[in-house]
Structure 1
Amino acid sequence: MSDSTTSASDSGAFPSSVWVRFLRSYGPTPNNLNLFDEYITTAVRRAKIQPLTLTSPQLAQILDRVRSGEPGSVLVAGTAGDGKTYHCRGVWSELGGDPKIWADDSTIKELTLPDGRLVIFVKDLSELSDEQSDEVLAVLENSALGEERERFVVMAANHGQILERLRDLGRRQDREHPLRKALQDVFLMTGEAPGRLAVFDLSRVARRESLEEVLSAVAGHPAWDKCGSCVSRSEGRVCPIYENRSRLLDPDGGKKLAQRLGHLVEIARQNGWHLPVRDLLALASNMILGHPDVKENLMVCSDVPKLQDDGKIEGASIYNNVFGANLPKRRAMERPVFKALLAFGVGDETSNGADGLLVYGADDSKLVGTFERLIGNDPIYGATDGYRSDLHQYLEGDDSARQDRGADHFVQRLVSQRRRMFFTLPDEESAYPFWNMTAFRFGGNYLELMTSLAEKKTINESVRARLVRGLNRVMTGLLIENTDRIFVASSGGFSQSRISVLCDTETPAKRDRTGAGMMIKLDQSSGLPSLDIALAAGKSNSSALQVTPIRFEFLCRVAEGALPGSFSNECLEDMLAFKAKLLRKAEVLNKQQPDGEEDEPFEEEGALMLKFIDIEKNGHGFSRSVTVRVDL
Structure 2
Amino acid sequence: MFDEYVSGAVGRAKVQPIRLATPLLEDMVKHIESKAPGSMLIAGTAGDGKTYHCRALWLRLGGDPKAWTAKGNVKELRLADGRLAVFIKDLSEFNGQESDLPLQRLERSVLGGDDSEVLIIAANHGQILDRLRDLGKRQGLRHPLRTPLQECFLQAGPAPDRLAVFDLSRTTTRKTLEEVARAVAGHPEWDNCSRCSLNADGKVCPIDENRRRLLGDADGGQLASRIGDLVEIARLNGLHLPVRDLLALCANMVLGYSDAKEAKENLMTCADVAKIQEADHVSKANIYANAFGANLPKRRASDRPVFKAMASFGVGEETTNGADGLLVYGKDDSRLQADFQRLVASDPIYGGTASYLAAQNDYLEGHEGARLEAAAGFTEMLEDQRRRLYFTLPKDELGYSRWAMTVFRYAGDYLGIIDTLTEKKTQVSEAVRARIAKGLNRVLTGLLLENSDRIFIASSGGFTQSRVSVLCDHETAARRQQGVGMAIKLNTMTGRPFLEVQLAPGAANRVIFDLTPIRHEFLSRVAEGSLPASFSNECLEDLMAFKAKLLRKAETVRKDGIADDDEVSGEDSAMTLNFIDIEPGGRGSTRPVTVRAPA
Common fold by TM > 0.5: yes
Separation in structure 1 between the aligned mates of residue 486 and residue 8 of structure 2, nearest angstrom: 57
Which residue of 2 is the match for residue 450 of structure 1?
418
1:145 aligned onto 2:114: no
Which residue of 2 is the match for residue 134 of structure 1?
100
- Residues 8-407 of structure 1 aligned to structure 2 (within 5 Å): 36-253=2-219, 255-293=221-259, 294-403=263-372, 405-407=373-375
Q: CA deviation at 1:96?
A: 2.1
Separation in structure 1 between the aligned mates of residue 83 and residue 362 of structure 2, nearest angstrom: 76
What is the TM-score with the length of structure 1 in the denominator? 0.91
CA deviation map 1:246-285 (0-9, x unaligned): 1122345251101111100000000011000000000010
Q: Could you tell me which of 441, 448, 468 is aligned with 1:479?
A: 448
Q: Is the 8 A contact 2:215 2:224 kept in 1?
A: no
Say if 1:385 and 1:170 are closer, same or farther in 2 by CA, change over 3 A. Answer: same
Structure 2: state its 5+ residue gaps: none
- Residues 613-628 of structure 1 aligned to structure 2 (within 5 Å): 613-628=580-595
Q: Is the 8 A contact 1:139 1:152 kept in 2?
A: no
Which residue of 1 is the match for residue 481 of structure 2?
512
- Residues 521-600 of structure 1 aligned to structure 2 (within 5 Å): 521-594=489-562, 597=565
Which residue of 2 is the match for residue 490 of structure 1?
459
Which residue of 2 is the match for residue 423 of structure 1?
391
CA deviation map 1:483-526 (0-9, x unaligned): 1110001112253211111111101112222x321121122443
Say if 1:619 and 1:112 are closer, same or farther in 2 by CA, change over 3 A. Answer: same
Q: CA deviation at 1:401?
A: 1.8
Q: Which amino acid in 1 is paired with 2:285? A: A
**Structure 1 stretch displaced more, 589-598 or 284-293:** 589-598
SS at match of 2:193: helix
Q: Is the 8 A contact 2:216 2:222 kept in 1?
A: no
Separation in structure 2 between the aligned mates of residue 376 and residue 76 of structure 1, nearest angstrom: 50
Q: Is the 8 A contact 2:439 2:526 kept in 1?
A: yes
SS at match of 1:594: helix
**Structure 1 stretch displaced more, 169-178 or 366-375:** 169-178
SS at match of 1:188: helix
Q: CA deviation at 1:233?
A: 1.5
Separation in structure 1 between the aligned mates of residue 569 and residue 362 of structure 2, nearest angstrom: 72
Separation in structure 2 between the aligned mates of residue 132 and residue 115 of structure 1, nearest angstrom: 30
Separation in structure 2 between the aligned mates of residue 468 and residue 584 of structure 1, nearest angstrom: 20
SS at match of 2:580: strand
Q: CA deviation at 1:70?
A: 2.1
Q: Is the 8 A contact 2:88 2:122 kept in 1?
A: yes
Say if 1:465 and 1:598 are closer, same or farther in 2 by CA, change over 3 A. Answer: farther
Q: Is the 8 A contact 1:590 1:598 kept in 2?
A: no
Say if 1:530 and 1:571 are closer, same or farther in 2 by CA, change over 3 A. Answer: same
Q: Which amino acid in 2 is paired with 1:330? A: R
Q: Is the 8 A contact 2:38 2:113 kept in 1?
A: no
Q: Could you tell me which of 577, 588, 609 is aligned with 2:576?
A: 609
Say if 1:576 and 1:600 are closer, same or farther in 2 by CA, change over 3 A. Answer: farther
Separation in structure 2 between the aligned mates of residue 495 and residue 374 of structure 1, nearest angstrom: 53
Q: CA deviation at 1:539?
A: 2.4
CA deviation map 1:375-394 (0-9, x unaligned): 00000000111111100110
Structure 1: state its 5+ residue gaps: 1-32
SS at match of 1:540: helix
Separation in structure 2 between the aligned mates of residue 343 and residue 286 of structure 1, nearest angstrom: 17
Separation in structure 2 between the aligned mates of residue 603 and residue 558 of structure 1, nearest angstrom: 45
Q: Is the 8 A contact 1:601 1:609 kept in 2?
A: no
Q: Is the 8 A contact 1:333 1:339 kept in 2?
A: yes
Separation in structure 2 between the aligned mates of residue 464 and residue 285 of structure 1, nearest angstrom: 39
Q: Which amino acid in 2 is paired with 1:328? A: P
Separation in structure 2 between the aligned mates of residue 560 and residue 581 of structure 1, nearest angstrom: 25
Separation in structure 1 between the aligned mates of residue 561 and residue 11 of structure 2, nearest angstrom: 76
Separation in structure 2 between the aligned mates of residue 258 and residue 598 of structure 1, nearest angstrom: 63
Q: Is the 8 A contact 1:501 1:613 kept in 2?
A: yes
Q: Is the 8 A contact 1:495 1:576 kept in 2?
A: no
Say if 1:595 and 1:94 are closer, same or farther in 2 by CA, change over 3 A. Answer: closer
SS at match of 1:238: coil
Over the residues paired in the alignment, what is the CA RMSD in angstroms?
A: 1.9
Say if 1:576 and 1:610 are closer, same or farther in 2 by CA, change over 3 A. Answer: same
1:499 aligned onto 2:463: no
Q: Is the 8 A contact 1:319 1:420 kept in 2?
A: yes
SS at match of 1:235: coil
Q: CA deviation at 1:597?
A: 4.5
Say if 1:412 and 1:182 are closer, same or farther in 2 by CA, change over 3 A. Answer: same
Paired residues in the alignment total: 595
Q: Could you tell me which of 439, 442, 446 is aligned with 1:470?
A: 439
Say if 1:598 and 1:516 are closer, same or farther in 2 by CA, change over 3 A. Answer: farther
Say if 1:507 and 1:390 are closer, same or farther in 2 by CA, change over 3 A. Answer: same
Q: Is the 8 A contact 1:602 1:609 kept in 2?
A: no
SS at match of 1:624: strand
Separation in structure 2 between the aligned mates of residue 115 and residue 494 of structure 1, nearest angstrom: 63
What is the TM-score with the length of structure 2 in the denominator? 0.96
Q: Is the 8 A contact 2:364 2:371 kept in 1?
A: no
Q: CA deviation at 1:131?
A: 4.9
Q: Which amino acid in 1 is paired with 2:111? A: L
